[in-house]
Each structure stands twice: as C-alpha cells, then as structure tokens.
Amino acid sequence: MGSLPAIDERSLTYPFARRDESVVDNYHGVDVPDPYRWLEDPDSKETKEFVEKQVILTDSVLKTCEIRDKLREKLTKLFDFPKYNVPFRAGDKYFYFHNTGLQPQKVLHVQDSLDGKPEVLLDPNTLSEDGTVALSMCAVSKDAKYLAYGISSSGSDWVTVKVMRVEDKRDEPDTISWVKFSNISWTCDSKGFFYSRYPAPKNGEKLDAGRETNANLHQEVYYHSLGTDQSDDVLCWKDSENPMHRHIASVTEDGQYVLLYVFRNCDTVNQLYYCDLSALPNGVASYKGRGDALPFSKLVEYFDASYDYVAHNGTVFTLLTNKDAPKYKLVRVDLENPDFWFDIIREDEKDVLQSAVAVNENQLVVNYLRDVKNVLQLRDLESGALLHHLPIDISSVTGISARRKDDSVFIGFMNFLIPGLIYECNLKGEIPELKVFREIIVPGFDRTEFQVNQVFGPSKDGVKIPMFIVARKGISLDGCNHCLLFGYGGFNVSMTPHFSAARVVLAKHLGVVFCLANIRGGGEYGEEWYKAGALSKKQNCFDDFISAAEYLVSAGYTQPHKLCIEGESNGGLLVAACINQRPDLFGCGLAHVGVMDMLRFHRFTIGHAWTSDFGCSDKEEEFHWLIRYSPLHNVRRPWEQFANIGFVQYPSIMLLTADHDDRVVPLHSLKLLATMQYVLCPSEEKSPQSNPIIGRIERKAGHGCGRPTQKLIDEAADRYAFMAKELGAAWIQ
C-alpha cells in the first residue's frame, strides 16, 4: 500500500451527524445498524439543522468553483431558445405547449386551425411568483369545450385537478384533490372524466404536500361529473385486498369503452378490464352512491404480461403486448371470444416494438427501437402489413399525435445534435408526405462542430453494451479529455439520443466528452435486456456501467481522474453503487435523487412499487441481493480495501436531492451523505479523503418534473462547476 497523502487545503470540516448506535435491525438473522434512522423524519428539528449545515458546507465549496458564474451565464444564454411540444387535436381545435425560452413553465396554447392565430389557454407561470407551480397533466374533452388540468406545487407528485372552459378561459368551481400517478380521461359526452386518487393523508389540510414519507396505498378510480363536488364523485374501482396496486382508467377514442389497467408494481405486467359505457342506460353518474365498482369485465385476469390498448372495431381489440414476445408484438382478440388471440404484427427478431398509433381510419404508425434509435413504419391496421417506411434521421421519437379519424399525424424527433423537429405526415395519398411543421433552433449552436459515434463495448461477462459518444470534432484519443458518463439501467426505461443545452456548453467550453451508456436494466433491447438488470441480476447494471468507464479509458478518451459519472433516480443508485465498488475508476460522481437505502426503500411513498426491479428485504433471499450493493451499507475506506494497488480515496461526490421529492424521498441521500462523511472523513483523525463529499439540497422542488427553468439552470451550473473544478477542467472561450 502506498503512503497516505498529507492533508491539504482542500480538507473540509464536515458537520457530522449524530449517530444513534442503538438502532439495529435484524434481517433474517443478520444485524444491520441504522445509526441515522432519525434522518427519516424530515420535520424534526435535528434533521432540519443537519440540512442547514450541509447547505452551508456546499455553498462554501461552490463559492470556490471559479467558473460557476461564467457557466451559469453561458447556460442561461443557450437555454434561451423557443421550445415546442408535438401538437394534439380535440374537437376542431389544435393544442400545443410552448416555452419562449426562459419562462419558468411551458404554456398551453390553442388555435382553431394550423394557420390560425394561437391563443394562450393556460399559463402556469401566473399561478406562482417563483414558477414552482407546474402543469403536470391535462386532458381536453372530445368536443374541445373543457380542459381538465392538474397542477402540482414544489415538484411534488400530488396533483390538484381543476376544470376550465376553453371558449372563455374561465375556471369552473370543480376541484379534485389528492390525485397521484393518474391520468384524466373524459367520457364522450364531455360531462365528466375518470381519474385515480389516494385517500387524503392525515392532517391533509395542514400538510406541506410532498414532504411526507408515508406509503401510498389504496389507490381508487373515480368518475367526476362537471359542476359537482368531489365528495359526490362515483367510486368506480377499489381493491381493499391489494392496497399496493395502482389503477388507470382510460376511455377509448370513440367513447364506447372505459378500460381499467391494474398494476401491482413497476413490472411490465398488468391486468386489463373493460366496461361498455354504451350499455349503462343512465351513464356513469347513475352509479353514484352504490358503493361498488362499475360493471367491469375481465379481459386479462393474470399478471403474466403487459397489455396496452391500440384500437378496436366493435368488440375486436388490437393490443400491444409482450406476451411470449420479449420484443413486443401486436395481437387481436374479440371480447365475445376472449380465449382466442392471434398475432397481427409478430415480434421482430432484433427491433423492439415500442408503440403503435391508429390513424387515417385503418392505418397504424408503428414505432420500433433499433440499436437504441427509433424507426417508424406505416402499416395496415387490419392485416398488420407493411405499407411504407417513414424516413427519419437517427433520432428519438419524442411524440406521435393523431386521432384515428385524422388523415395526418404529427411526429416529434430529437437527437444529440437536433434540438427538435416536428413533422406533419399527410396520409391522404398513396405515399405518405412528410414535411417539417416546426424546427427548433438554438441560437449560437452549430451542430457541425460536433460528432456523435455509437460504439459497443464488452461488459464483464462479454455482453456488448451500446454507448453514444458525443464530442467536439477532432478530439484526440490520448487520454487527455475530460469525460462525463451518464447511465440509468432500470425499470425497462430506454435512454435514447436527446438534446441537452447544458452538455453542449460542457463540450464547447470545457472540452468535455459526453457518453450515454445503454446498460442492462433498461428497455433498449426488450424484456430480456430489462430482466438481465433486475432483481438477482441487478449487479449486471453496475458491471455494465463500470465496463463502459473502462472502455472510455482503454480507448483513449479519458483517464480515471478526468472521468465524472452521473445518474438520476435509479441512475443515482447506479452512480453511488459504482463508486462504492470502484472508487479508483472515477474522479467525480453526481448522484441525483438516488435510491440509496435498499433495505428500507419500500416503506416510503411509492417505494413499494419498485420491488419488481430491486426485490424486498422482507424476503431472505432478496435481502442478500440488496445488502451486497445497497449504497448506504457498502461505504468502505478504499485505502484499506485496495491495498494491492496503492492509495485510493473516494472520488469527489455531490449527492443531489430536493425537499419536496415524494418519490425518492430525501432521506436516502441524507443518510448516505451522513454515512460517507462519517466513514471517510472521521472527525477524530486526519483523513486521507481530501476529495469533497457534499450534498446539494434544493428547496421547493421534487423528483425533477415541473422544475422551473431557472432552477434547472442553477442546478446545472452548480453541479458542473463542481465537476469542472474536481476534474481540473479549464474554461475554453
């Protein structure tokens, strides 16, 4: 083992948290201490004091990051470009979201025709002075007379639904509270809508929603009639025997059926029920006060696969499923003969079928994922036959918007160098006509200055892992580049090419090479790729990410001390676990809102739904999976672990969380922060850990959704200024 370095001016005085050594849990005969259990109470005086001290520490570190102000200035300039979402239609009107550039929140617009004058329908920026009230969901009634919209405060997942008249933009008195993990789905008569909600929390009227940690249980489906109080809403579905199940109700485009999806967790399986609304003589409202569910019938009884509605003709339904098809397929079934299913579009050997949208009466726009790039096709709805390939650049599809009766479809695209393109595809003729409807331009950004390569590097077990590498043209492979490696690897989520103004600034002004690793656990190659990074195989995710880092070093892109790793949510877990396992391989780590306590995550808010990916410590076998990689329980002094390779310390670390994150609650990051500072930087002795370990704790923000633009800019400036200082990256004009 090499000699330990002397403590230098970088050493910090950490506000060490009190350790309660009496808190010990016994898991299947194994005692596991939890000395920072008290940090699980966000409202305790001691937790608040700990947070305040960490904020002061982090601010003191960030003030020494010389490029912070310059970085914020450049980020602000590059963020300032108009952003548009794919438009959608309802009735005879068009609707779309638009942000002029630096507005805190995107604004909903309406227009009578594509060449008509757009009007602001709903501007969430008027709902709060600081932009922390966001529009989290919306649905326009079929006749376009009403807009039901959900707003959330400070980034919380809790949503309050209100109703507006589109014609005069006047709010109706309707208010729906305690909605979470829901949609809004109108009935065809525009008299009301379905939604999902949880029971009101205790002391709900006084609650600072988003700071509580109680488990979300007993979600129910309701129907709300316009002009009535929420207390009069019709209870359409409840399941007292399965309190962890989640439910979504969705009305078919023609209004005949309401479909009920039942999810037991985050696994790619669901039950599917249907109710023929046309068979209810007095409508859904007539079920008020009955206390039982609507007369739903089972179409899919077991949690054996994923089933997602695409279209129907009468009682014949077309569904997207992974039943006996890891890369998905389209199937058809008649509700009157539910035992007979047959394939319409069979599973492809290589490409993953991601979605299918019915359009032009009897056609489908089908979206495949091929080596992490989207491919679009036009197919016949009845037979599934291929009609045309829709030519697009190497891109990610950001949206496909059409109704079945429409003879045109809007398609949004994006990639690392294209901020956004929205095409209008006309299907009136024999050959689809694709034209640019909107192109998003970023002033001062020249895509020809950059290059994008996709490479495939071997993981620990030899499996090839795809990676996108984005850099300025002409970089040398001499190991001198600073590099940012990003990953996720979970919940069947595919990380596809996307534009980031912040990463453009890093590449242009810091010479940073950006790499996106498509590790197992995601959905990039279908169900098998996802399952290969879940449960007992979760270690594959960390092995893949570590192998991606090793590839960047061996290929000459960078060196360990110039390499930063970054991830969010499940990706925050990824970063923290990899740092524990290979602290010698990285110079810096940015872990956002990560799941860090793998033994107790299922006890808080919606954490119980993640057991499909992680397992649960309540089960003995699964406890042993989790304890091996849980970031909180695997912090070790690397200079004692890695004696065979000389001195090793942990890389510089920033753990990012937010005070209203009620999905991955802040206690995860706070407990890990306290643990790392105690283990690696003990107060009773001089520590060789000179790299800083800090936490950035955002106020009035949540898991990420709805965060106003200025908060996005400020956070990016802070974390990347920290990264630049710790990696030694110099500013390039």
Share of the chain residues as helix, strand and coil, in percent rounded to the nearest 5:
25, 35, 45
Question: pLDDT at position 11, please?
Answer: 67
Does 291 have pLDDT greater than 90?
Answer: no
User: Mean pLDDT across the stretch 512-538?
Assistant: 98
Supply the pLDDT for residue 288. Answer: 79
What are the Cα distances from residue 404, in Å, to 91, 254, 363, 381, 669? 13, 9, 8, 11, 46
Residues 171 and 140 in one domain: yes
Residue 10 included in any domain: no
Band of residue 732 on the pLDDT scale cut at 50, 70, 90: very high
Q: In the listed set 241, 272, 303, which residue is the last one of a domain according to the structure?
A: 303
Regarding whether 184 and 93 lie in a shared domain, the answer is: yes
Take residue 88 and report the two structure tokens written for it. Answer: 């959608």
Three-state DSSP state, 198:
coil
- Decide if 509 is inside a domain: yes
pLDDT at 107: 98
The pLDDT, as a whole number, for residue 260 is 98
Instruction: Encode pLDDT of 713-730 as tens digits.
Output: 999 999 999 999 999 999
553: Cβ–Cβ under 8 A, 6 or more apart, which residues?
479, 559, 560, 563, 585
* Annotation marks residue 613 as catalytic: no
- Asked if residue 651 belongs to a domain, the reply is yes
Out of 267, 544, 661, 662, the active site residue is: 661
Model confidence at 206: pLDDT above 90? no
- Domain membership flag for residue 34: no
Supply the pLDDT for residue 4.
Answer: 38
Residue 317, domain CATH = 2.130.10.120
> What local confidence, expressed as pLDDT, does residue 293 receive?
79
Q: Do 298 and 312 belong together in one domain?
A: no
**Spatial contact of 134 and 684, defined as CB atoms under 8 Å apart:** no
- Indicate whether 9 pLDDT > 50: no
Any domain includes 631: yes
DSSP of 692-723, one letter per residue?
Answer: -EEEEEESS--SSTT--HHHHHHHHHHHHHHH
Q: Which two tokens stand for residue 177?
A: 């509270």
Could you report the per-residue pLDDT of 22-71, keeping only the tens digit for each? 999 999 999 999 999 999 999 999 999 999 999 999 999 999 999 999 99
Does residue 684 register a pLDDT over 70? no
One domain for residues 514 and 379: no
Q: Are residues 258 and 339 in the same domain?
A: no
Among the candidates 303, 327, 354, a domain finishes at: 303
- Angstrom distance (rounded) from CA 721 to CA 581: 25
The band of 328, judged by pLDDT with boundaries at 50, 70 and 90, is very high
pLDDT band at 226 (very low <50, low <70, confident <90, very high): very high
Tokens coding 366:
């089908």
Summarised one tens digit per residue, pLDDT across range 545-583 is 999 999 999 999 999 999 999 999 999 999 999 999 999
What is the model's pLDDT at position 645? 67
Assess whether 436 and 566 both reside in one domain. Answer: no
Say whether 569 is catalytic. Answer: yes
Residue 25 lies in a domain: no
Evaluate whether residue 17 is within a structural domain: no
Task: State the pLDDT at residue 10.
Answer: 54
Q: What is the CATH number of the domain that holds 666?
A: 3.40.50.1820
Residues 310 and 324 in one domain: yes
Asked if residue 279 belongs to a domain, the reply is yes
Mean model confidence pLDDT for the chain: 95
Per-residue pLDDT reduced to its tens digit, 98-135: 999 999 999 999 999 999 999 999 999 999 999 999 99
Domain ranges, residue 148: 83-207+215-303
Question: Which helix (H) or strand (E) covers residue 352, if one does?
Answer: strand 352-359
The average pLDDT across 186-213 equals 92
409 and 435 fall within a common domain: yes
pLDDT at 205: 77
pLDDT of residue 1: 30
Q: Are strands 88-90 and 83-84 parallel, antiparallel or unpaired?
A: unpaired
Contact 344, 386 (CB under 8 A): no
Query: Domain check: are 257 and 400 in the same one?
Result: no
Annotated catalytic residue within 569, 630, 669, 687: 569
Q: Is the pLDDT of residue 3 over 50?
A: no
Total domain count for the chain? 3
Average pLDDT for residues 413-421, to the nearest whole number? 96
Active site (annotated) includes residue 661: yes
Q: Do residues 377 and 392 share a domain? A: yes
Mark whether 57 and 88 lie in a shared domain.
no
- Whether the per-residue pLDDT at 2 is higher than 50: the answer is no
Boundary-marking domain end, from 284, 303, 322: 303
Looking at residue 687, what is its pLDDT? 81
Q: Do 465 and 437 share a domain, yes or no?
A: no
